Amino acid sequence: MTPEQKARVSIDALLTQAGWHVCDMAHADIHAERGVALRELQALETEA
- At 13-47, the pLDDT tens digits run 999 999 999 988 888 887 877 888 888 767 777 77
Which residue, 10, 7, 38, 9, is CA-closest to 22? Answer: 38
CA distance 30 to 13: 19
Say which DSSP state 33 is in. Answer: S
- Name the amino acid, one letter, at 12: D
Note the pTM of the prediction, 2 decimals.
Answer: 0.68
What is the dihedral angle through the alpha carbons of 33, 37, 40, 45, rounded to the nearest 10 degrees? 100
Residue 48 pLDDT class (50, 70, 90 cuts): low
